[in-house]
Homo-oligomer: A and B are copies of this chain.
């Protein structure tokens, strides 16, 4: 018998993964959660049928969503991750010695629990004393904390269902107020190949709130089309022009100082989407 996972995000172009075993499958109060072990990408977190992160390629997403804002800010001390219950963003954030506290605000405690059990390589930093885990609504958390974080990372699922409120102008205004006066915000914002309208709207909404708004791209094989966008909003520092001095002992696999600048250079069709 062969078991295959069919990825659910794009209807007519479906990625499928051959599976060794299903490690966990449960309905949480928020979503259909599964962790499966695949032949091609190792263990994989799947929420509502959509691949969130895998052992083999998670480094791309987690390095790019964290190190771009954290190396843009000259001295990030307090960082907030909204979503990101797998802990991968926290792991990368804590590689920055300047960071005194990294708060994870994840709405679904079951994601944290199962990732701690089945994806320890990704989640281990959640137990670090510099990390504070808060299970609750990110929108409420951001609303209740003003002028507090140097960097806010929105590491959410797709903008349908549970995470819908995390995409859009009213949330970005709350994020602006939750940031310190030179703070930086970044979010994963889907693929311009399949969802150009989402990319366009998020960029426009962020641009209406932040003085500096940029889009950057990364290659992630297990996300639809393999090419993913991130939107960054900054109050003071321009992420594209900063010169990064990357510590040699950080041992990253995707991010480099030179790529920090180059990832903002967009193909023409994406320039057109956000124009």
> CB within 8 Å of B: which residues of A?
4, 6, 10-18, 38-41, 57, 60, 193-194, 217, 219, 221, 224-227, 252-256, 258-259, 261-262, 265-269, 271
Determine which of B38, B259, B268 lies in contact with A12 in the assembled complex, contact meaning CB atoms within 8 Å: B38
Contact, CB under 8 Å: A269 / B253: yes
**Roughly how many angstroms separate A40 CA and B67 CA in the complex, as a whole number?**
34
The residues of B that contact A268 with a CB separation of less than 8 Å are 252-256, 259
Contact, CB under 8 Å: B256 / A269: no
**How many monomers of this protein are in the complex?**
2
- What are 30 A-B contacts with C-beta separation under 8 Å? A6-B16, A11-B18, A11-B39, A12-B38, A12-B40, A13-B16, A13-B41, A14-B16, A15-B15, A57-B193, A60-B267, A193-B219, A217-B219, A219-B226, A219-B227, A219-B267, A221-B224, A221-B225, A225-B226, A226-B226, A226-B227, A252-B268, A253-B268, A254-B267, A255-B267, A256-B265, A256-B266, A256-B267, A259-B266, A261-B265
The residues of B that contact A271 with a CB separation of less than 8 Å are 256
**Roughly how many angstroms separate A57 CA and B224 CA in the complex, as a whole number?**
14
The residues of B that contact A14 with a CB separation of less than 8 Å are 4, 15-18
**Roughly how many angstroms separate A259 CA and B271 CA in the complex, as a whole number?**
11
**Roughly how many angstroms separate A194 CA and B41 CA in the complex, as a whole number?**
11
What residue of chain B has the Cβ atom nearest to residue A220's Cβ? B226
**Roughly how many angstroms separate A57 CA and B252 CA in the complex, as a whole number?**
31
Q: Closest CB-CB distance, A270 to chain B, in whole Å? A: 9
The residues of B that contact A40 with a CB separation of less than 8 Å are 10-13
**Roughly how many angstroms separate A261 CA and B40 CA in the complex, as a whole number?**
32
Q: Which of A10, A194, A266 has the most CB of B within 10 A?
A: A266
**Roughly how many angstroms separate A271 CA and B60 CA in the complex, as a whole number?**
14
Contact, CB under 8 Å: A265 / B269: no
**Roughly how many angstroms separate A265 CA and B17 CA in the complex, as a whole number?**
30
The residues of B that contact A217 with a CB separation of less than 8 Å are 219
**Roughly how many angstroms separate A256 CA and B262 CA in the complex, as a whole number?**
13
Determine which of B11, B253, B258, B265 lies in contact with A259 in the assembled complex, contact meaning CB atoms within 8 Å: B265
Determine which of B13, B255, B261 lies in contact with A15 in the assembled complex, contact meaning CB atoms within 8 Å: B13
